[in-house]
Structure 1
Amino acid sequence: MRNVLALFRRPARHRPSHPPNAGWYGWASCRPLTAGQIRERQFHQVRRGLDPAEVYAFLYRVAGELAHARRDLAMVTEENIRIKRALRSWQSRFAPGVRR
C-alpha cells in the first residue's frame, strides 16, 4: 500500500516553500463581499429552481445586515483608537514610569 501512495507524492524538491493557500485571499473572488455585490447578484433561472423573489429578498436582508455590521465595526474601531489615545495621554501625565 505504501508503494501505491508513494506514486502520488511529489518529490521533496517540488514542494512549495509557502502554504498552498498563500495567495488565496488576494484573489478578487475571495475578498470580502460588499453590500452592493450582494444586492446586485444575479442567478440563472432553472426550471424547478427557487422562488426568485424569496432569494432576492433574502439577499437584500443579508446585504443590509452586512452594511450595518460594517458601520458598527468602523464606529467601534474609531472608538478603540480614541480610547487608546486617551489612555496614552493619561499614562504620560500621571504615570511617567509606564511607557509603551
Structure 2
Amino acid sequence: MTPAPNAAGHLYGRAVRPSISPGLVRERRFGDRTRRGCDPVEVRAFLHLVADELTALRAELGSTRDENARLKQALRDWQSQQFEQSHRFGAGVAA
C-alpha cells in the first residue's frame, strides 16, 4: 500500500515547505522608502522575471510528476506481467 501524499503532494513524510506562488512574487510590495542602489522599477521588473520563471518551473515539475507516475505504472504493469508469466511457466513444469 502506498502512503498518502501530504499537503504538498510529497510521500514518505518529507518536510512540507511553504509554497511561494508566482502571484505572491508579483504582488510583493516593499516599504515606500528606497535604499541607496535599489531602483523600485528594477526590483518590480526582477520580481516579475522571478514569477515567470517560477511559473515555468511549476509547469515543468507538473509534467515531470505526470511522466513519473506513468513510468511507475508501466513498471508495475511489466512486473505483474513478468510475475504471471513466470508462475504460468513454473506451474506447467511442476505439474
Q: TM-score range by the shorter chain?
A: 0.5 to 0.7
User: Deviation of residue 47 (structure 1)?
Assistant: 4.8
For 1:43, the aligned partner's letter is: F
**Structure 1 match to 2:29:** 42
- Superposition CA RMSD, Å: 2.0
Gaps of 5+ in 2: 1-14, 87-95
Structure 1 ranges of 4+ moved more than 4 A: none
Provide the TM-score with structure 1 as the length reference. 0.61
Cα deviation, 1:46-90, whole Å, max 9, x if unaligned, reads 154421110000000000111111111111001000001011111
How many Å apart are 1:43 and its aligned residue?
1.2
TM-score scaled by structure 2? 0.64
For residues 69 and 34 of structure 2, what CA distance do their matches in structure 1 show? Answer: 53
- Segments of structure 1 that go 5 or more residues without pairing to the other structure are 1-24
Give the drift of 1:31: 1.6
The residue aligned with 1:67 is 55
- Asked if the contact 2:26–2:47 (Cα under 8 Å) also holds between the matched residues in 1, the reply is yes
Identical aligned residues as a percent: 41
Q: How many residues align?
A: 70
